[in-house]
Structure formats: C-alpha cells, structure tokens
Amino acid sequence: MAENKSNSGVDPRDKWQQAWGKIDAGEKLWKLGEEANNSQILLSYFSTHLFPSASPKPHVFIPLCGDYLFVYEAWLEGYTVTGLEFVSDAVKRMRERWGGGEEDWEVSEC
C-alpha cells in the first residue's frame, strides 16, 4: 500500500481526523449549515434550477462528507449519493446517525 505522507512527513488524513475530533467534541466548524436547514434549501435548488425534469434523478458526489445531513436527505429524495470520507470515525457516525441495512451502504477502504 502506498504511503500517504505530504512533503512535511505528516499524513494528511491526520488533519481531517483532528478536525473531526473537534466536531465530535461540540465545535461547529462547517456544521453550521445544518442548523439553517441548508439541506432542504439545496434540495429545492436542485429540483428547481439544476435538475427540474431529471428522471431518474442524477447521481450526487459529496467529497469529505462526514455525517453531512444532505447526504441522507438527498438519498431519501431519490438521488443516488456517493459520499467520500477519509475519517473512519466520521463514517461510523454517519452510519449510526442514519441507520439502514448493509445493503444500503458500500464501504471501501484505501
């Protein structure tokens, strides 16, 4: 397996793990949008402006998704959603938060 080190010798995933640790401890960081119900606003924008007549609904890719509520809400609305996350704790939280059976999740580790 290839080493994941930056020029500074630090694994970049460590920084994401630290950021996730802060969120887990209660810091808002980029989760502020969840309080403003931005998932519903974004879904409304998708259906009104981006994909008004798309059938089937398009595939949505969300990099560094954490446990972002939009991932789940877009899936509930019929979108096929792929979320990319490097922090295993974030993936674990996502699965705990939204449940679903094994058939609803495809997990690949790198």
Q: Average pLDDT, stretch 92-110?
A: 73
Give residue 97's domain range.
32-101
Residue 30 has pLDDT above 70, yes or no: no
Query: Is 21 contained in some domain?
Result: no
Residue 5 has pLDDT above 60, yes or no: no
Mean pLDDT of the chain: 77
Looking at the structure of the chain, the number of domains it has is: 1
> Are 69 and 34 spatial neighbours (Cβ–Cβ below 8 Å)?
yes
pLDDT for residue 86 = 81
> Are 14 and 85 spatial neighbours (Cβ–Cβ below 8 Å)?
no
Indicate whether this model's pTM tops 0.85: no
* The residue to which tokens 């690949």 are assigned: 108
Query: Is 15 contained in some domain?
Result: no
pLDDT band at 4 (very low <50, low <70, confident <90, very high): low
